[in-house]
Structure 1
Amino acid sequence: MKYEIVYFDLDNTLLDFSRSEKEALYNTFRDHGIFLTQEQITLYTQINKKWWLAFSQGKYDKEYIVFARFEEFLDNINVKSLDAKRIAQRYLETLSHLAYFLPGAEDLLEKLKKRKQRMAVLTNGVKTVQESRSKLLRLDRFFEFILTSEEVGKPKPDPTLFFKAQEISGVPLSRSVYIGDDPQTDSLAAKNAGVDFILFDYTGTGNDSQKTARTFEQLYSMLLM
């Protein structure tokens, strides 16, 4: 294999977070008698992305953004009867039980495992949620460890997550690669850490300014070369 260890982002790289997010959001509000429209769900995802970007920029801590996003969302849809912190907690609990591989992701991991490729996960996601979803999909079949930014105290694009991964794996970052779906946060994190980066752009919405794989088959080939 080209690299001694492959580090993956998790959400929307290997796992269909968009599906889990939509289902968790709809179910959470449904349980409170509110049936969200697709337009409202889209609004939430936009608000959520904004708050996670602020988190990655170090403007707010994770504990704050997980409920601040719901404060803004509830205000935007003019719902005054629900408490943002309670909704945020219920949403995370619901999300923790929803995990789906992107089509082809599990096959990719199986093929890499057969080639004895070392693999691990580096993610900015909420630790308790990622641990629960990882257990549902039995990701320990493939990965030596799953490391979250919470455990190192700084989110991507800060390189601390990568330095800790290097310490755990014992593999120099120069012999590693990071694969993620975010052309900004993931790419910059890899650059800051001095590790090779492959953008996984299965939606085809990115550009070709970075080394990019649009399918898992293409990604597999790139990891072999």
Structure 2
Amino acid sequence: MKKNYDTLLLDADDTLLDFSRTEKNALDLTFSRYGLKLTDEIRDIYHTVNHGLWAAFERGEISKETVTSTRFSRLFAETGYAVDGIAFARDYQLALGEGYYLIDGARELCEKLAGKYRLYCVTNGVAATQHSRLAGSGLNEYFSGIFVSETIGHQKPSRDYFRAVFNAIGRFSPEKAMIVGDSLTSDIAGGKNTGIDTCWYNPSGKTAEPALTADYEIRRLDELPPILEGE
């Protein structure tokens, strides 16, 4: 049965913006600026540290500031580099803000949806970085609002984050809304927690846990419009 959606909440990183590419380039650039060798082993250690911190942030156990200010200090403690982790983190964050790479089909999707639905970007992360990347990519022009966890004061998947978003949007009907994102633990869990439909962008064909099964699943962004139109 076709549902009459009028509001779409779109995740940013690895849904519309290619964060994986941005992160790689930012790491390469910042390590190079500091004259440090970035091996595959060090990159893997960083990903382990970083993912662990962001997972704790999603669970509400630590602040975003703890994530961004300590991840490189922890990395350098493990790798033996005598570098100021806080200064490095600041420079890395600036490099991240310059990453405007798009996921295939992201611009075309936003162009197609903007005239039919109210589009909002919902993203965890650093506000200045996310706004810079969305502006640099040109995607910001398609959104009626951009909600970054740092500004909201809460993070996906918490109900407090989504309540703040719903209240800010106004005239919001949960039964007419859908969230689209690549993260089961923040996007899909957040949607399920707050009673809106969910669409999992899953380009690599991962398997979801039963408790986090989305209402819809797509491998490519161009598969979303037919779902919205009930085709």
Q: Smaller-chain TM-score range?
A: over 0.9
| 1:200 correspondence with 2:201 | yes
Residue aligning to 1:139: 139
Please, which of 30, 38, 45 is the counterpart of residue 28 of structure 1?
Answer: 30
The separation in 2 between residues aligned to 1:140 and 1:51, in whole angstroms, is 28
Q: Counterpart of 1:179 in 2: which secondary structure?
A: strand
Mapping 1:52-131, distance limit 5 Å? 52-80=54-82, 82-113=83-114, 115-131=115-131
The separation in 1 between residues aligned to 2:10 and 2:181, in whole angstroms, is 6
Q: Which amino acid aligns with 2:6?
A: E
Deviation at 1:157, TM superposition (A): 1.4
Q: Counterpart of 1:79 in 2: which secondary structure?
A: coil
CA gap of 1:77–1:136, structure 2 versus 1, over 3 A, is same
The separation in 1 between residues aligned to 2:52 and 2:164, in whole angstroms, is 27
Q: Counterpart of 2:184 in 1: which secondary structure?
A: coil
CA gap of 1:51–1:224, structure 2 versus 1, over 3 A, is same
Deviation at 1:43, TM superposition (A): 2.5
The separation in 1 between residues aligned to 2:69 and 2:208, in whole angstroms, is 33
Q: Counterpart of 2:35 in 1: which secondary structure?
A: coil
Q: Which amino acid aligns with 1:193?
A: T
Deviation at 1:185, TM superposition (A): 2.1
The separation in 2 between residues aligned to 1:207 and 1:161, in whole angstroms, is 23
Q: Counterpart of 2:90 in 1: which secondary structure?
A: helix
Residue aligning to 1:168: 168
User: Do 2:30 and 2:88's aligned partners in 1 also have CA atoms closer than 8 Å?
Assistant: yes
**Larger mean Cα displacement after TM superposition, 96-105 or 37-46:** 37-46
User: Do 1:148 and 1:161's aligned partners in 2 also have CA atoms closer than 8 Å?
Assistant: no
After TM superposition, the score normalised by the length of structure 1 is 0.93
Deviation at 1:155, TM superposition (A): 1.1
Over residues 96-126 of structure 1, what are the superposed CA-to-partner deviations in whole Å (9 max), with x where a residue is unaligned?
A: 111111011111111112x422100111111
Deviation at 1:37, TM superposition (A): 2.0
Residue aligning to 1:149: 149
CA gap of 1:77–1:2, structure 2 versus 1, over 3 A, is farther
Over residues 4-57 of structure 1, what are the superposed CA-to-partner deviations in whole Å (9 max), with x where a residue is unaligned?
A: 110011001111000000110111011010131233223312221110000111
Count of equivalent residues: 223
Q: Counterpart of 1:12 in 2: which secondary structure?
A: coil
Over residues 170-223 of structure 1, what are the superposed CA-to-partner deviations in whole Å (9 max), with x where a residue is unaligned?
A: 222221111111112222111111111111111222348432111112222212
User: Do 2:110 and 2:139's aligned partners in 1 also have CA atoms closer than 8 Å?
Assistant: no
Residue aligning to 1:213: 218
After TM superposition, the score normalised by the length of structure 2 is 0.91
User: Do 2:124 and 2:155's aligned partners in 1 also have CA atoms closer than 8 Å?
Assistant: yes
The separation in 1 between residues aligned to 2:60 and 2:168, in whole angstroms, is 24
User: Do 2:107 and 2:139's aligned partners in 1 also have CA atoms closer than 8 Å?
Assistant: no
User: Do 2:64 and 2:125's aligned partners in 1 also have CA atoms closer than 8 Å?
Assistant: no
The separation in 2 between residues aligned to 1:38 and 1:105, in whole angstroms, is 29
Q: Identity of counterpart residues, as a percentage? A: 32
